[in-house]
Amino acid sequence: MKIKTKESSASLKEKREDIPQWKPEQEVQLFYALNGRRPVGINRHFQMIFILEEYNRLTGQQVTSDTIWKYLDTLYDMDTLNENEDLPFDNEMKDFTLPVEYQITHQQPESPSKSTNISTPPSSTVTNE
């Protein structure tokens, strides 16, 4: 986890100067759009689509996702949040093995005479009258 130092505070200040100042009403609408959504982790870009659509609907403005990303980056350390987000699946490297029901066992093939146990239907006698 990163600890904010004077250098990171200075870079944060520079980031805030790069983007236009947000009005309190815009911030409130952004937080309403963020309700229940977390733009971090592996699905962050999908979540941003929903956040962006909701924000644009609430404000009646057309902002870009880049604007919202930059603003969120001024509020939070998004890189650290992304690093600390748990993956929804196991990401460890391990050898692949088939499940038992799909594994092929190496057995000697049976002789053809034993393996052809085809039963023939009993012969029926048909009489022509």
Max mean pLDDT among 5-14, 65-74, 100-109 falls in 65-74
- Delimit the domains of the chain by residue range: 21-84
Q: Taken in order 26, 6, 17, 78, is the CA torsion positive or negative?
A: negative
pLDDT for 111 equals 62
CA-based nearest residue to 74, from 127, 129, 4, 128: 4
Report the SS3 class of residue 9.
helix
CA-based nearest residue to 54, from 70, 39, 73: 39
Average pLDDT (56-69) is 90
Does 83 score more than 70 pLDDT? yes
Q: 11 pLDDT band (50/70/90 cuts)?
A: low
Average pLDDT (42-61) is 90
Does 55 score more than 90 pLDDT? yes
Does 3 score more than 50 pLDDT? no
